[in-house]
Copies of this chain bind each other. A is one copy, B any other.
Amino acid sequence: MSFGDRLAAQVADRESQIVLGLDPDPARLWPDAAGAVPASGSPAQLAAAAVAAHCAALIDAAGPACVATKPQLACFERLGAPGWAALQDTVAHARERGLLVVLDGKRGDIDVSAAAYAQALLGVTPTPFGDVEGLRGDAATVNPLLGRDSLAPFVEAARAHDAGLFVLVRTSNPGAADVQDLPVGDATVHERLAAIVGELGATGTSGIADVGAVAGATAPEHLARLRELMPAAPFLLPGIGAQGGRVEDLVAAFAPGRAGGLVSASRSIAKAHETHGGRPAEAARAEAERLRAAAWALS
């Protein structure tokens, strides 16, 4: 079953298009997490244990309203080897809770290096000592600046494992305009990227492709055009909440079906108690459920 079909089935089953972003800052974890650490260890080991506990609690609280989680790899890498182990634990916990896992590392490199990233995130590395399992994400975010041949090893590995990709096309930050919006003839760089994504995706019976696009919810004026260029691509839509995007502006994303638009939210869920009061877990669950209902009603 292709990633697109798996995604569509999972969205229908969970009645959710919400992707729970996990970008844990060890200095700003939920209070219970900082207490759930071993009695001794290096700062990296203790911080990684607290980060894993925080992510597990956030998944347990908000996960029932979500279809997937999206760990931000930078937040784990900065804790070194213990951080990478915490990332593996977090991926396993999300999967136990029935959530898809989108590994947000925005990797991009050439030939053998791209293939090595694909092994790390989606596949397996053969070695003389036995196969080394990668993180086995259901999907990963990738950066297309290096062109089609840099994406090919990711597409090949993803397809071999029924996984998917979300290619950066038009991101949610103001600086996206510096490069992605540059004019190229009658088009823009991000439209050219969208055309590449449209070519790469394979579509199964659900009408949803296995290669999607990251399209920031902060620039909804681009979404209709991006949908024309990528009729079947699932859109990963960051920028809701903390970055100012609104669910109501995303209707074009859902044209190929409910799984056509995945609404990613991180801080607005994890820090909902700071805005709305209450205990962190309950506030996170309520905010995720609010987003879920809003997106579902729209799609």
Contact = CB atoms under 8 A, between A and B. Distances in A.
A173 B185 contact: no
Contacts of A149: 173-175
A43 B50 CA distance: 27
Interface in A152-175: 168, 171-175
B111 A173 contact: yes
Contacts of A145: 143-145, 168, 171, 179-180
Interface stretch (A123-131, A223-231, A250-258): A123-131
Interface stretch (A6-14, A59-67, A71-79, A288-296): A71-79
Contacts of A110: 171-173, 175
A202 to B, nearest CB: 20
A46 B85 CA distance: 16
Nearest to A109: B106
Interface string A93-111: 0000000000000111111
Interface residues of A, number: 76
A75 B168 contact: no
Given A77-B117, A116-B75, A168 B146 contact: yes
B192 A173 contact: no
Contacts of A127: 26-27, 43, 46-47, 50
A198 to B, nearest CB: 14
A88 interface: yes
A82 B132 CA distance: 11
